Chains A and B, each alone.
Chain A
Amino acid sequence: DAGITQSPRHKVTETGTPVTLRCHQTENHRYMYWYRQDPGHGLRLIHYSYGVKDTDKGEVSDGYSVSRSKTEDFLLTLESATSSQTSVYFCAISQATGGTDTQYFGPGTRLTVL
């Protein structure tokens, strides 16, 4: 157990509404990541953070924003949800980035945009 929780675990929302997903960690890891998982695509990085208030874009960042005001929390916001953002969202943490440290994953949030 890497001490990662995600909330909510399931959410159904309507097109055009804002949605915020939360990732919370208890182990003070420096790096946090948001991925989305879709069939046939594996995991794709949305945004990541390398410290409080330090974030950067990943492969599929359009339509998403993030914030990290505390080490333990990394928020993912869909400003105006679209059906193409229906997916399973995973948060991950690591002490170092890329290949030098293992990424540990949260349980995921299943988001459905109607």
Chain B
Amino acid sequence: AQSVTQPDIHITVSEGASLELRCNYSYGATPYLFWYVQSPGQGLQLLLKYFSGDTLVQGIKGFEAEFKRSQSSFNLRKPSVHWSDAAEYFCAVALDSNYQLIWGAGTKLIIKP
């Protein structure tokens, strides 16, 4: 069955440190890939998405993600986190234009002062 795995339920990072959140998917073909962020008590906001082309994608709020076909991964990175980045991050995948999004379980990011 198709699935999206975010291996880390929680990640704690010091303010100013770098961040990498992992996302792996299980599909045969290259899917469309997304990262969303959810601040406490809020809805979800799109950070970035990958459809095709350059495998390094830039998003909002200084985030980037890299698609690695050989590893079936789409990891999210930020060089220096801010306290306002504390939130839950979700990876999502769609197979093609006629398929709904399949979501990972989320990774909660905690920022240490």
Contact = CB atoms under 8 A, between A and B. Distances in A.
Nearest to B106: A42
A26 interface: no
Nearest to B49: A102
Contact of B99 (A42, A44, A98): A98
Contacts, number: 63
Interface residues of B, number: 26
Is chain B's binding surface mostly helix, strand, loop or mixed? loop
B103 A42 contact: yes
A111 to B, nearest CB: 15
Given A90-B43, A98-B94, A48 B105 contact: no
A43 interface: yes
Size bin of chain A's contact surface: 20 to 34
B44 interface: yes
Contacts of A42: 4, 90, 103-106
Interface string B86-98: 0000101011111
A102 B97 contact: no
A105 B45 CA distance: 7
A106 B43 contact: yes
Interface in A68-114: 90, 96-100, 102-108
Contact of B97 (A33, A96, A105, A107): A96
8 A-B pairs with the lowest CB-CB distances in the bound complex, closest first: A99-B32, A99-B94, A42-B103, A105-B43, A98-B94, A100-B97, A98-B99, A43-B103
Interface of B: 4, 9, 31-32, 34, 42-46, 49, 51, 90, 92, 94-101, 103-106
